[in-house]
With several copies, the nearest count.
Chain A
Amino acid sequence: MIRTRCEVLSNRRTGAYHSLTLVAPDIADRAKPGQFVQIAVPEGRETLLRRPFSIHQASRRGGWAGTLEIVLDARGRGTAWLAEARTHDVLDVIGPLGRGFSYAADLGSCLLVGGGYGGAPLFFLAEELRARNKLVGMILGARDHERVFKPIEGKRLADTMVITTEDGTMGERGRVTDVLDATLARTGAQVVYACGPNAMLRAVAERCAVRGIPCQVAVEELMACGLGVCWTCAVPVVGRDGRGWWNMRACVEGPVFNGSRIWWDRWLGERPAEPASSAPEPERIHRPEAAEVRP
Chain B
Amino acid sequence: MNGEPDLGASLAVGLNGVSFPTPVLAASGCFNSGREMAGIVDLHRIGGVVTKSVTLHPTKGLPVPRMAETPSGMLNAIGLQNPGVEGFLQKEGPFIGAAGIPVVVSIAGRSVEEFSQVTLRIRDLPGVVAIEANISCPNVERRNQVFACHPGDAAEVIGAMSRLTRLPIFAKLTADVTDIVAVAEACVRAGAHGLSLINTLLGMAIDTETFRPRLGAVTGGLSGPAIRPVAVRCVYQVAQALPDVPIIGMGGIRSPNDAVEFLLAGAWAVQVGTANFFDPGVMIDIGEGIRRFLNARGLSSPADIRGKARLPDRVAEPAYRRG
Contact = CB atoms under 8 A, between A and B. Distances in A.
Asked if A and B touch directly (CB within 8 angstroms), the answer is yes
Given A48-B225, A270-B313, A275-B319, A3 B40 contact: yes
Interface string A251-295: 010000000000000110011111111110000000000000000
B79 A276 contact: yes
Interface string B70-86: 01111011110100000
Minimum-distance CB pairs A-B, first 4: A276-B60, A228-B36, A232-B67, A274-B316
Contacts of A221: 64-65
Interface string B279-299: 111000000000000000000
Contact of B73 (A41, A48, A227, A232): A48
A94 B36 contact: no
A1 interface: yes
B40 A46 contact: no
Contacts of A273: 62-63, 77, 216-218, 312, 314-316, 319
A276 B59 contact: yes
A235 B314 CA distance: 20
A252 B67 CA distance: 17
B123 interface: no
A230 B318 contact: no
Given A226-B277, A271-B312, 14 more contacts: A40-B278, A46-B225, A48-B69, A48-B72, A224-B76, A227-B36, A231-B81, A234-B81, A271-B64, A272-B63, A273-B217, A273-B218, A273-B315, A276-B79
A243 B137 CA distance: 30
A252 B57 contact: no
Nearest to A227: B36
A160 B106 CA distance: 54
Contacts of B268: none
Contacts of B164: none
Nearest to B140: A275
B162 interface: no
A264 to B, nearest CB: 12
Interface in A90-147: 94
Contacts, number: 140
Contacts of B57: 277
B40 A229 contact: no
Contacts of A49: 69, 74, 277-278
User: Interface size bucket, A side?
Assistant: 35 or more
B251 to A, nearest CB: 14
Contacts of A177: none
Given A94-B280, A247-B60, A48 B74 contact: yes
Interface stretch (B24-32, B111-119, B185-193, B238-246): B24-32
Contacts of A275: 79, 316, 318-319
A47 interface: yes
B45 interface: no
Nearest to B273: A230
A81 interface: no
B150 interface: no
Nearest to B34: A229
Contacts of B37: 227, 229
B61 A234 contact: yes
A65 interface: no
A245 B74 CA distance: 28
B274 interface: yes
B40 A224 contact: no
Nearest to A45: B72
A41 B74 CA distance: 15
Contacts of A277: 57, 59-60
A279 B313 CA distance: 13
A266 B64 CA distance: 9
Contacts of B62: 273, 276
